[in-house]
């Protein structure tokens, strides 16, 4: 009887394993590759963002005007335009007189 | 091919269906999906492949990692009780088992499955490792972190009980 039970147990476990042969699972190493690629993409994006920030800060240091808000820029341009117009008008009047 | 790749290939080609069976038979009360548990185990095996001591059989190390991982999951589960919990060993039928498979199985398989469900988890583990993996008692003791004497006793007890039940049903 002992031998019969031994045989039955072997058959039982073999059958249970056979029933679980599908579906195949992905090799974790492949998942790691995918994970590694995704990590590199994220790292690249972060590096690009940091680079842009660095370039823009360097640019601002050399171009102080660019640190002004747009309203101030427009005001300066208008002042310049008014001064030029004033100068043109005054010169013309001076010549006429 | 490095030794590490060779071990990983062996794990992938030889151990996936047996590990599924090992989880189903012994840790059916884990709430997590079996395939997720299997993936977690495989990731652990990949990450810890350098800790494998090749003086021992690869199967010994694989099942020890799988067993410890499943026991950790069960411990975590106990700390976070869920309403869907099943009693230990109640469900042995794989979620992948189709109705056709069940019909095709012979009566002995069904009877043995019912008997297995009534055995304590440790005894089921011993039987699986002994009869499917053909491990020695020493190897089983290593997987289960138990003394060899205890493993022998568990095997004897489980087999005697199955034998008695089998004879009763004849």
Complex ipTM: 0.76
**Same domain for B5 and B61?**
yes
* Chain B residues within an 8 Å CB radius of A2: 159, 163
Q: Within a 13 Å sphere around the CA of B11, how many CA atoms are in the beta-carbon half?
A: 30
**Same domain for B2 and B77?**
yes
In a domain, B90, yes or no: no
Asked whether A2 and B163 are in contact (CB, 8 A), the reply is yes
**pLDDT higher than 90, residue B49:** no
Phi-psi region at B147: left, alpha or beta (left = phi > 0; alpha = psi -120 to 50): beta
- Kindly give the parts of chain A with pLDDT less than 70: 1, 23-35, 56-69, 95-97
Q: How far apart are CA B56 and CA B139, in angstroms?
A: 8
Residue span of the structural domain in which B24 resides: 1-82
pLDDT band at B18 (very low <50, low <70, confident <90, very high): very high
Q: What is the CATH number of the domain that holds B154?
A: 1.10.10.10
**pLDDT higher than 50, residue B164:** yes
Pick the residue from chain B with its C-alpha nearest to A31. B43
Provide the pLDDT for residue B86.
35
**pLDDT higher than 60, residue B118:** yes
Provide the pLDDT for residue B90.
42
**Same domain for B68 and B4?**
yes
- B→A contacts (Cβ < 8 Å), by residue, are 8, 12, 16-18, 20-21, 24-25, 35, 38-39, 42-43, 45-46, 94, 96-97, 101, 105, 108-109, 112-113, 116, 127-128, 131-132, 159, 162-163, 166-167
Average confidence (pLDDT) over B40-54: 87
* Chain A residues within an 8 Å CB radius of B97: 19
Contact A5 B159 (CB under 8 A): yes
**Same domain for B78 and B1?**
yes
**pLDDT higher than 80, residue B19:** yes
Mean pLDDT is highest, among A52-66, B79-93, B107-121, for: B107-121
**Same domain for B136 and B163?**
yes
In a domain, B149, yes or no: yes
pLDDT band at B88 (very low <50, low <70, confident <90, very high): very low
Contacts of B45-49 with CB under 8 Å at 24 or more apart are B45/A28, B45/B8, B45/B11, B46/A28, B46/A29, B46/A32, B46/B8, B49/B4, B49/B7, B49/B8
Q: How far apart are CA B33 and CA A23, in angstroms?
A: 14
**Same domain for B71 and B121?**
no
**Same domain for B63 and B110?**
no
Q: Where are the domains of chain A?
A: 22-62, 64-97
Tallying the residues shown for chain B, one arrives at 170
Considering CB atoms only, which of A1, A11, A22 is closest to B96?
A: A22
Provide the pLDDT for residue B156.
93
Residues near B138 by beta carbon (within 8 Å), at least 6 away in sequence: B148
In a domain, B92, yes or no: no
Higher pLDDT: A51 or B42? It is: B42
Q: Which of A11, A19, A20, A25 is nearest to B20 (CA)?
A: A20
Average confidence (pLDDT) over B39-56: 87
Provide the pLDDT for residue A66.
58
Of all residues in chain B, the percent with pLDDT exceeding 90 is 36
Q: How far apart are CA B51 and CA B28, in angstroms?
A: 28
Please state the domain count of chain B. Answer: 2
Torsion (CA) A35, A41, A45, A51 in degrees, nearest 10: 110
Look-up: residue for tokens 């289960």? Answer: B144
* Chain A residues within an 8 Å CB radius of B112: 8-9, 12
Contact A25 B38 (CB under 8 A): yes
**Same domain for B123 and B170?**
yes
């Amino acid at each position: 009887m002992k031998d019969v039970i031994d045989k039955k147990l072997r058959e039982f476990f073999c059958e249970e394993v056979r029933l679980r042969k599908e579906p195949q699972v992905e090799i974790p190493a492949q998942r790691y590759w995918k994970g590694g690629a995704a990590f590199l993409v994220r790292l690249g994006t972060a590096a690009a963002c940091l680079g842009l920030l660095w370039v823009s800060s360097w640019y601002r240091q050399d171009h102080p005007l660019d640190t002004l808000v747009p309203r101030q820029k427009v005001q300066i341009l208008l002042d310049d335009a008014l001064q030029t117009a004033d100068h043109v008008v005054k010169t013309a009047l001076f010549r006429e007189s | 091919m490095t030794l590490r790749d060779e071990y990983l290939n062996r794990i992938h080609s030889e151990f996936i269906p047996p590990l599924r069976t090992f989880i189903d038979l012994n840790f059916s009360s884990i709430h997590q999906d079996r395939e997720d548990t299997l993936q977690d185990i495989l990731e652990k095996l990949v990450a810890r492949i350098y800790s494998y001591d090749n003086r021992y059989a690869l199967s010994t190390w694989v099942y020890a990692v799988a067993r410890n991982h499943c026991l950790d999951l069960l411990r975590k589960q106990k700390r976070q009780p869920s309403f869907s919990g099943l009693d230990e060993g109640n469900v042995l039928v794989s979620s992948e088992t189709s109705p056709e498979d069940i019909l095709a199985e012979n009566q002995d398989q069904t009877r043995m499955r019912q008997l297995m469900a009534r055995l304590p988890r440790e005894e089921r583990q011993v039987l699986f490792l002994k009869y499917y993996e053909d491990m020695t008692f020493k190897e089983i003791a290593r997987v289960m972190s138990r003394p060899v004497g205890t493993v022998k006793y568990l095997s004897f007890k489980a087999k005697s009980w199955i034998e008695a039940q089998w004879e009763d049903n004849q």
